[in-house]
Amino acid sequence: MPPTLPPPTPPPSKPRVVIIGCGFGGLEAARELACDHVEVTLVDRTNHHLFQPLLYQVATAGMSAPAISAPIRHVLREQIRRGHLTVLLATVTGIDVAARLVRLDDGTALPYEHLIVAAGSGHSYFGHDEWAEHAPGLKTLADAMELRNRVLKAFEQAERYPERHEEWLTFAVIGGGPTGVEMAGTLIEVARHTLPDQFRRVDTRQARVVLIEGSPRLLSAYGEELSEKARAQLQRLGVEVRTGCRVTDIHARGLRYLGEDGREHELVSRTVVWAAGVAASPLGKVLAEGTGVTLDRAGRVPVGPDLSIEGHPEISVIGDMAAALSHPRPGQRGEPVPVPGVSPAAKQMGRHAAACILRRLRGEPTRPFHYVDYGSLATIGRKAAVADVEFPLLGRRRFSGYAAWLFWLFVHIWFLIGFRHRLAAMTDWAWSYVTFERNARVMIEREPPPAPAEQQPGPSATPGWDIGRPAVAQEAPRQAAPRPH
């Protein structure tokens, strides 16, 4: 049995609550539980709380990492100072349900009387984990920095090897949900408005951004009208939208997909972004083994009305990890409906799970979770967004274009944690709005770029790269003429 951490001093006379993860759900739970009745320990593998909705801005060099993240200790400093909370930087590697222990990466374990699991989700490559190397996703700050390096480097490589500009200046984004749409819209803006006069040997305005979505519509959660508007706005910006297309292979120099025409197509692209699949944290599997519940297809843990696992009232699962239902308010009619994997849902679940723990400690019955849906927003690019929002008194409103973009901007700045972040975000945005400049265009790489010979092999040098296969339709490359000197 691994050693347990020494008990907090004075020895815990209070019930111990462990929260795994300080994302949207875990942070709210920690805030709600900051009281004298419980001893709370919050564990996260990073030292920061991250505002994921703006990760794409870091990945496209519009914002710096600290503008969308904040140290957990700083965010929760009041709770720590008052002695309500202990924060640990550690990765949770296991949960011993029977012994009520959370196991950490150094072999130690934390005992608990109540556990809130809020470890979020990661990428799913639909059984093709080998694609991850060529098509990184966007979930953490490290992912965003990796993508930013790849994007900026692609432009640099195009300038260095103008004869191969096509493959370097073609960007493929897989997945037409909010993240894919935001990435595609911003990438085309960078190529067409930010960079053109800073390159001499290539014309970055000739860059292609191809957005590939498996279903027939972009932003399928938004309703048909807004999906069509999103497509039209993206196309107006210059993004090539391919819906109803299934990616069948991703390799170092591009990808293949099955088109709506039933034929396989090859897209030559050195920069592929994965924004298609989401899978709950592997801790879901750990919980399933310990409690006997069956995970859903996305690896989420089914929870009861009060967000605890059936038969285990001491364990609550919240946020992206939970397959939870929203129940009608007391006195209201209706069937429970699934809760979406969005940040407001995670926050509300965090507060609810914490409130249920406190109710249990008072000997009161817990209440079923009700999700208040304020709507959804997705930005497409400069002055372009779609909004499906519930306004007090006015009810549900769907709108798009400039008004939706301004609303999106306001909401995202408002929900950024901390005054300094809001100010920094507003300054960055105002600056880039006026100048089209993107301030965070710094590449940070450990290794020097490989030698040109390694970097620029011919088509036949890469295994699996078979541009001339007759069964595969080659996407007609646009003749982007190198810029004259």
Ligand X SMILES: Cc1cc2nc3c(=O)[nH]c(=O)nc-3n(C[C@H](O)[C@H](O)[C@H](O)COP(=O)(O)OP(=O)(O)OC[C@H]3O[C@@H](n4cnc5c(N)ncnc54)[C@H](O)[C@@H]3O)c2cc1C
Question: Catalytic residues, which ones?
Answer: 182
Inter-residue contact 281 to 122 (CB < 8 Å)? yes
Q: How many residues bind ligand X (CB under 6 A)?
A: 34
Least distance between ligand X and beta carbon 261 (Å) = 31
Range in contact with ligand X (rule: CB under 6 A) among 147-155, 256-264, 340-348, 450-458? 340-348
Enclosing H/E stretch for 50: strand 48-50
- Number of C-alpha atoms within 13 angstroms, CB side, residue 194? 23
Tell me the three state secondary structure of residue 224.
helix
Q: Should residue 25 be labelled a site residue for ligand X when binding is judged by CB under 6 A?
A: yes
Among 17, 20, 212, 293, binds ligand X (CB under 6 A): 20
Q: Should residue 408 be labelled a site residue for ligand X when binding is judged by CB under 6 A?
A: no
Least distance between ligand X and beta carbon 296 (Å) = 15
Tell me the three state secondary structure of residue 33.
coil
280 contact partners, CB below 8 Å, separation of at least 6: 120, 121, 122, 295, 298, 299, 300, 301, 320, 321
Residue 147, both tokens: 């993508």
Among 147, 319, 409, 424, binds ligand X (CB under 6 A): 319
Q: Which amino acid is at 285?
A: K
Range in contact with ligand X (rule: CB under 6 A) among 5-13, 229-237, 244-252, 342-350? 342-350
**Residue 315: closest CA among 325, 328, 301:** 301
Residue 447, both tokens: 């290794």
Q: Should residue 147 be labelled a site residue for ligand X when binding is judged by CB under 6 A?
A: no
Task: Decide whether 202 or 315 has the Cβ nearer to ligand X.
Answer: 315
Among 16, 100, 114, 139, binds ligand X (CB under 6 A): 139
Give DSSP secondary structure letters for 301-357.
EE--TTSEETTEEEEEE-GGGEE-EEPPPTT-----EEPPSSHHHHHHHHHHHHHHH
Inter-residue contact 452 to 209 (CB < 8 Å)? no
The 10 Å Cβ neighbour count of residue 409 is 18
Restricted to residues 344-363, the positions that interact with ligand X (CB under 6 A) are 344, 346
Restricted to residues 174-203, the positions that interact with ligand X (CB under 6 A) are 178-179
Enclosing H/E stretch for 212: strand 208-212
Q: What does each C-alpha distance from 151 to 58, 119, 168, 200, 267 come to in angstroms?
A: 11, 29, 9, 18, 17
- How far apart (Å, rounded) are the C-alpha atoms in residues 171 and 174? 10
- How far apart (Å, rounded) are the C-alpha atoms in residues 265 and 263? 6
Length of the chain: 485
Among 119, 174, 218, 267, binds ligand X (CB under 6 A): 119
- How far apart (Å, rounded) are the C-alpha atoms in residues 230 and 241? 10
Least distance between ligand X and beta carbon 439 (Å) = 20
Range in contact with ligand X (rule: CB under 6 A) among 47-55, 245-253, 288-296, 393-401? 47-55
Q: Should residue 320 be labelled a site residue for ligand X when binding is judged by CB under 6 A?
A: yes
Range in contact with ligand X (rule: CB under 6 A) among 10-18, 80-88, 299-307, 335-343? 335-343
Tell me the three state secondary structure of residue 401.
coil
Least distance between ligand X and beta carbon 336 (Å) = 19
Task: Decide whether 140 or 269 has the Cβ nearer to ligand X.
Answer: 140
Inter-residue contact 122 to 139 (CB < 8 Å)? yes
Residue 382, both tokens: 């400069």
Tell me the three state secondary structure of residue 141.
helix
Peptide bond into 2 cis (omega under 30): no
Task: Decide whether 219 or 342 has the Cβ nearer to ligand X.
Answer: 342
Task: Decide whether 168 or 274 has the Cβ nearer to ligand X.
Answer: 274
Task: Decide whether 46 or 64 has the Cβ nearer to ligand X.
Answer: 46
Q: Should residue 118 be labelled a site residue for ligand X when binding is judged by CB under 6 A?
A: yes
Among 47, 91, 243, 291, binds ligand X (CB under 6 A): 91
Range in contact with ligand X (rule: CB under 6 A) among 193-201, 246-254, 313-321, 331-339? 313-321
Least distance between ligand X and beta carbon 368 (Å) = 19
Q: Should residue 86 be labelled a site residue for ligand X when binding is judged by CB under 6 A?
A: no
Q: Should residue 45 be labelled a site residue for ligand X when binding is judged by CB under 6 A?
A: yes
Least distance between ligand X and beta carbon 358 (Å) = 20
Least distance between ligand X and beta carbon 95 (Å) = 10
Range in contact with ligand X (rule: CB under 6 A) among 4-12, 80-88, 308-316, 336-344? 336-344
Among 14, 37, 46, 232, binds ligand X (CB under 6 A): 46
DSSP 373: -
Residues that bind ligand X (CB under 6 A): 20-26, 43-46, 52-53, 55-56, 91-92, 118-120, 138-139, 178-179, 281, 283, 319-321, 341-344, 346
